[in-house]
Amino acid sequence: MATDPHALFEDWLAEARTSEPNDPTAMALATADAQGRPSVRMVLLKGHDARGFVFYSNLDSRKGGELAANPNAALLFHWKSLRRQVRVEGPVEPVSDVEADAYFASRARESQLGAWASDQSRPLDRREIFEARYAEMAARFDGGEVPRPPRWSGWRVMPERIEFWSDRAFRLHERRLFTRAGEGWSEGLLYP
Ligand SMILES: Cc1cc2nc3c(=O)[nH]c(=O)nc-3n(C[C@H](O)[C@H](O)[C@H](O)COP(=O)(O)O)c2cc1C
């Protein structure tokens, strides 16, 4: 039976959870603008299943603007403790409001208030301005539930290509490439 790359990813992530000093779910997210100019930053993986890889952010952030103009992304996990990397590529779709609400509700209150206070990716004149906005939001939602900000949500990268890379001695690395084939996957190897 062919290997399921999603199951293989879960195995590798489980190993990374035990060996990484912090943030085993951290991944580099590459996006590109309408002209194809790339940009990359770290985000945290907040959901994974057969549909894809989910992360959350501000819809008006730089990444949000780029994904609106060009709804394709690449992800990279690098687990140094395991000497492994996983590369994921594919189109993105917005997560549902229900999914975003559920994740937002699970976050620490301070993170929820931070999402309201941050005008993500916009220039900030002084740190104190951000702190004042945070205090304003803390007062606004005092004691009550903090709802998900209207411009804060998530995306799902729906993989068409997933590569598992393992370090081997003398740079004779192993590269297993899975490419979407209809409902399933085809698997092959790449030269290192
Ligand atoms: C380990 C790590 C995890 C991060 N996770 C997230 C995340 O899940 N969502 C997010 O919006 N920003 C996250 N950030 C901050 C982003 O890297 C970035 O600074 C921010 O999202 C703005 O990016 P943009 O201007 O390209 O949109 C994380 C940063 C690091 C270093």
Task: Find where tokens 């939602």 sit.
Answer: 141
Query: What is the rounded CA–CA span in Å between residue 104 and residue 146?
Result: 9
What's the CA-to-centroid distance between 111 and ligand 1, angstroms? 13
What's the CA-to-centroid distance between 129 and ligand 1, angstroms? 20
Query: What is the rounded CA–CA span in Å between residue 44 and residue 25?
Result: 5
Does ligand 1 lie within 6 Å of residue 55's CB atom?
A: yes
**What is the pLDDT at residue 143?**
85
Which residue among the candidates 171, 175, 176, 180 is catalytic per the annotation? 171
Query: What is the rounded CA–CA span in Å between residue 174 and residue 192?
Result: 6
Can you tell me which atom of ligand 1 is nearest the CA of 42?
Answer: 17
**What is the pLDDT at residue 1?**
57
Does ligand 1 lie within 6 Å of residue 70's CB atom?
A: no
Can you tell me which atom of ligand 1 is nearest the CA of 41?
Answer: 17
Query: What is the rounded CA–CA span in Å between residue 111 and residue 117?
Result: 10
**What is the pLDDT at residue 141?**
96
Query: What is the rounded CA–CA span in Å between residue 159 and residue 161?
Result: 5
Regions of the chain with pLDDT less than 50: none
From the CB of residue 113, how many other CB atoms can be counted at a distance below 10 Å? 20
**What is the pLDDT at residue 4?**
95
145-163 burial, b at 16+ Cβ within 10 Å, e below that, comes to: ebebbeebbbbbbbbeebb
**Residue 158 and residue 91 in contact, taking contact as beta carbons nearer than 8 Å:** yes
Catalytic, 176? Answer no
Residue 18 phi, psi dihedral angles, 5° rounding: -85, -20
**What is the pLDDT at residue 172?**
87
